Amino acid sequence: MGTGKKVVAPRRGRASVEQESPSGSPTPMDIDEPEKVAPEDPVVRQPLEVGTKAPCMWRNAYHDCQIVERRKKPGTDTYEYYVHYSTFNRRLDEWVTFDKFEPKALVKAEKKRILREAASERAANASRAKNEKKKKDSKKRRTSAASGSVDGEKASTEKSIEEKEHEEATKVKNIQTVVIGCWAIDAWYYSPFPPEYSGYSTLYLCEFCLKFMRTQDALQRHCERCILRHPPGIEIYRKDNISMFEVDGATNRIYCQNLCYIAKLFLDHKTLYYDVDPFWFYIMCEVDDRGAHIVGYFSKEKFSEEDYNVACTSHSRRTSGVAMESF
Toward Zn ion, which CB reaches closer, 263 or 294? 294
Distance (Å, whole) CA 323 – CA 319:
9
Which of 256/311 has CB closer to Zn ion? 256
Which residues 52-111 are close enough to bind Zn ion by CB under 5 A?
Answer: none
Quote the least distance from Cβ 210 to Zn ion, whole Å.
7
Q: Tell me the closest approach of the beta carbon of residue 179 to Zn ion, in angstroms.
A: 13
Tell me the helix, strand and coil percentages in the chain, rounded to 5.
30, 30, 35
Q: Nearer to Zn ion by C-beta: 178 or 311?
A: 178
Report in angstroms how near the CB of residue 226 gets to Zn ion at its nearest: 3
| Number of residues forming the site for Zn ion (CB under 5 A) | 4
Q: How far is the CB of 222 from Zn ion (least distance, A)?
A: 6
Our CA dihedral for 304, 307, 309, 314, rounded to 10 degrees, sits at 130
Between residue 151 and residue 190, which ones bind Zn ion under the rule CB under 5 A?
Answer: none
Residue 259 CB, nearest approach to Zn ion (Å): 13
Q: How far is the CB of 282 from Zn ion (least distance, A)?
A: 20
Cβ proximity to Zn ion, 223 vs 272, nearer residue? 223
- By C-beta, is 209 or 294 nearer to Zn ion? 209
Cα separation, 321 vs 327, in Å, equals 20
Closest to Zn ion by CB, 111 vs 222, is 222
Which of residues 188 and 255 has its CB atom nearest to Zn ion in the complex? Answer: 255
Helix axes 145-171, 103-141, angle to 10 degrees: 160
Query: Strand locations in the chain, DSSP E?
Result: 5-10, 15-19, 56-58, 61-63, 65-72, 79-85, 94-97, 177-180, 183-186, 202-205, 212-213, 234-239, 242-248, 279-288, 291-301, 310-316, 321-326
- 227 C-beta neighbours (distance < 10 Å), count: 6
Tell me how far, at minimum, the Cβ of 150 lies from Zn ion, in Å. 57
Binding characters for Zn ion, 188-227, by CB under 5 A (x = yes)? ------------------x-xx----------------x-
| Span 221-260, contacts to Zn ion by CB under 5 A | 226
Applying CB under 5 A, the residues found at the interface with Zn ion are: 206, 208-209, 226
